[in-house]
Structure 1
Amino acid sequence: MRPLTDTRILDLSRLLPGPFATLVLADLGATVDKLEDVGGGDLLRHLPPQIAGESAAFQLLNRGKRSVLLDLKRPEGRDAFRRLVATYDVLLDPFRPGVLDRLGLGHDALRADNPRLIVCALTGYGQTGPLAARAGHDLNYVARAGVLGAQGPPEGPPQVPGSQVADVSGGMWCAVAVLAALRERERTGRGAVLDIAMTDGVLGFALPTLAAALAGGASPAGAPARAGEEPLTGGLAPYNIYLSKDGHAMALAALEPKFWRSFCEGAGLDPEVDALVPGPHQVELKDRLAAVFLERTRAEWEAFAAERDCCLEPVIDPRTAATDPHLASRGLLFEIASPRGRVPQLRTPVTPRDASFAPAPRAGEHTRAVLRDAGFSEDEVEALIRAGAAREAR
């Protein structure tokens, strides 16, 4: 028995943010039924790279879930959806504000049918505000929240991040909010509408820069800091990336004096007092450290890090993460069996280690089972499936 074993979630989301949220909740034991459109289902299914004929990312995000196809463009599909939602604890709504209202399936209407329903409304900019109706993607949200603007280089525009920070954190905030709402419902018997905006959720990732701005915008040295020059965005030589003798990137994060002293003692450097304070002198110190790192290979620096407590690690390419000794020891990547063969999976911090998982579902694989669970008769089930098949054929 996992913590959410008796919790039922109907998930309308696709791509990354919503499915990440429901992956976490499914790992915690919730029944997650993924409602997909009969016109092709979740777009992520079809995107490369693929494993066994389906998107590898889709298979990572959707293990243990069921898939139901329903045509919400038809009156009978919308009626069926309203009946269906009434049997769930949580609805994950990933659409822009007003989309479900235009279908006659707004949050108020659904909660009138089921006052215990928790609607988790995940959007880019929120249910209110001047940008509420605007389309966007991860890059837009980190830009608007100020996260992107904190990145360097100082002499040019910020670089596109190598990870989807707003998408993944948006999913995590959904999971946190749903868990809190379920606990609140135990006390009150009432559900809620949760307004989760990815821009809101990612703002905390800009906290160091935001704190400096709220304090007046000056660095500890007194001058306004440019993007890429603050302590945690590239402004400090002891907190930076350097290339080893054999061309491998090494991440040094010796922010505290004790770690900086340990690194310097091992590398034969003078642990300068102002090395941990931003300022023009950091340019020369970075050059000195770059030269020091070129004296040893990655393997030699890893041996150095094992001997000295100095916050030094190699930069791991995610394509080789499965072979990294530490990540492998934690079991963060594993495989599950599916009719399409062995499928690789990602373990989150809450993924149970002693549980078995069903593979990601085929589109509509569980339509009959999901509708039957909600009390639909066999005739009603078959009529809805025929209607969906007719639209898909067109």
Structure 2
Amino acid sequence: MRVVEAAAFVAAPLGGMTLAQMGADVIRIDALGGGLDYRRWPVTADNTSLFWCGLNKSKRSVALDLASPEGRELAMAIACAPGEDAGLFLTNFPPRGWLDHDALKARRPDLIQLTLQGDRHGGSAVDYTVNPRLGLPCVTGPVEGEGAVNHVLPAWDLITGQMVAVGLLAAERHRSRTGLGQHVKLALEDVGLAVMQHLGFIAEAQLGQPRQRHGNALFGAFGRDFLTQDGERVMVVGLTPRQWRSIVLATQLAVEFEALAERLQLDFKQEGDRFKAREPIASLVGAWMAARPMAEIAAAFDRHGVCWSRYQSMAELAQDPECSPANPMFRTAYQPGVGHMSLAGIPLEFSGTPRLDAEPAPRLGEHTEEVLAQLVGVDAAQFGRLHDRGIVGSA
């Protein structure tokens, strides 16, 4: 399957990369000199964007002067190039000019175009503007906290990126059955709104009980962070009955928990009751944790199958074996402009198809001549003339 992508930020490039890492030929249309996020932080000492490299793995890059009519003509020709498994176009730029669906459809009637928007009205929005509207910054942070706490993870971008891939695959399946293309629209804000309804946040508020801050506590069951005797911090979760039993067995606090439940007239087999008693439960677990070093706690938790994790820094994460080739999702490869680094492939593992190796992000314009020759029929002499006139770029 061939997908042509004209995109920036997180969600749309992530959608394209998701397909690329499953074997699709994803071709980026890039502006000469790079687009909006070609230098986006984090960057290396020589200003190579790790952000751009991370979200464009396994793709091809075509660099064009999109301010010129000839450059735009070439971009449209690439997007609408023939091929049974081609004619899929992804963008999160305003669908006008060469990005206009009707203009592209006139060239290829069965074109599938997915346009990612900020909101359903076509307005501008990013993760950091969607999240405040959803109310989540007001329930993030310490219980006694005030004001808003923005989350550092662009959750809506990430979910939307996966929906981009799903949307293109669904539209392609529809076309394979009917022969019809279509214009698929997806709004970042709508993804956030839908998830807030799916998870009950909106219904809670409509029933007069909007979610409050609970700090690091797991809402609706038992779970929170604790400090060990030697100063390590761990997260412990007792969401399911089995997870709760594992905590009881590992800490050997069954008698204390039974007495607490009886005193509070609660049933700790019920996750909601464990949430109601989260503070006294935490006092018991916290005292047990504070009296033991990390190694002893880890051994007990692993022996009894407790759901837990040790907090670690980003520096520690970079050295984690799960971020190395010890995990089949990762490989070490040379990324132009950066050097040798760990590259993550697709998390999906298919029993019928071997996992594809993660490939580095392309150099800007690395595949311009190759793609124009393959898809548009531009020969070497024509390419040379276009290059000399500044219409196309190459790595």
Bin the TM-score by the shorter chain.
0.7 to 0.9
| Paired letter, 2:2 | R
Determine if contact 1:152/1:233 at 8 Å carries over to the other structure. no
Corresponding residue for 2:199?
208
Structure 1's consecutive aligned runs of 4 or more residues displaced over 6 angstroms after TM superposition are 389-392
How is 1:160-199 mapped onto 2 (pairs within 5 angstroms)? 160-199=150-189
- Structure 1-normalised TM-score? 0.82
Shift of the 138–309 alpha-carbon distance from structure 1 to 2, 3 Å rule, reads: same
Query: Which of 294, 298, 317 pairs up with 2:294?
Result: 298
Aligned equivalents of 1:281 and 1:339: distance in 2?
A: 54
In the TM superposition, residue 50 of structure 1 has moved relative to its aligned partner by: 2.4
Gaps of 5+ in 1: 1-6, 218-223
| Corresponding position: 1:227 with 2:227 | no
In the TM superposition, residue 179 of structure 1 has moved relative to its aligned partner by: 1.1
Aligned equivalents of 2:217 and 2:180: distance in 1?
A: 44
Determine if contact 2:243/2:306 at 8 Å carries over to the other structure. yes
Shift of the 42–382 alpha-carbon distance from structure 1 to 2, 3 Å rule, reads: farther
Aligned equivalents of 1:13 and 1:80: distance in 2?
A: 17
CA distances 1:117-172 after superposition (whole Å, capped 9, x unpaired): 1111112223x3xxx323x3222222224444443434323422232211111111
Query: Which of 106, 112, 116 pairs up with 1:112?
Result: 106
| Corresponding position: 1:94 with 2:92 | yes
Corresponding residue for 1:35?
29
Determine if contact 1:147/1:205 at 8 Å carries over to the other structure. no
Q: Secondary structure of the residue that 2:376 maps to in structure 1?
A: coil
Q: Secondary structure of the residue that 1:388 maps to in structure 2?
A: coil
| Corresponding position: 1:259 with 2:243 | yes
Q: Secondary structure of the residue that 1:262 maps to in structure 2?
A: helix
Corresponding residue for 1:277?
272
In the TM superposition, residue 373 of structure 1 has moved relative to its aligned partner by: 1.6
CA distances 1:8-58 after superposition (whole Å, capped 9, x unpaired): 111111232222111111111111111111143352445333288632333
Query: Which of 309, 315, 329 pairs up with 2:305?
Result: 309
Which range is displaced more, 55-64 or 316-325?
316-325
| Paired letter, 1:283 | E
Aligned equivalents of 2:140 and 2:224: distance in 1?
A: 13
Determine if contact 2:68/2:391 at 8 Å carries over to the other structure. no
| Paired letter, 2:199 | P
| Corresponding position: 1:139 with 2:123 | no
CA distances 1:326-377 after superposition (whole Å, capped 9, x unpaired): 5655334321245664232013223775544542111111111111122243
CA distances 1:258-314 after superposition (whole Å, capped 9, x unpaired): 422331233243333455436775334434433332222332222121111332222
- Structure 2-normalised TM-score? 0.81
Aligned equivalents of 2:201 and 2:24: distance in 1?
A: 37
Gaps of 5+ in 2: none
How is 1:59-78 mapped onto 2 (pairs within 5 angstroms)? 59-78=53-72
Determine if contact 2:221/2:239 at 8 Å carries over to the other structure. no
Aligned equivalents of 1:117 and 1:27: distance in 2?
A: 22
Aligned equivalents of 2:45 and 2:162: distance in 1?
A: 26
Aligned equivalents of 1:260 and 1:377: distance in 2?
A: 65
Shift of the 319–137 alpha-carbon distance from structure 1 to 2, 3 Å rule, reads: farther
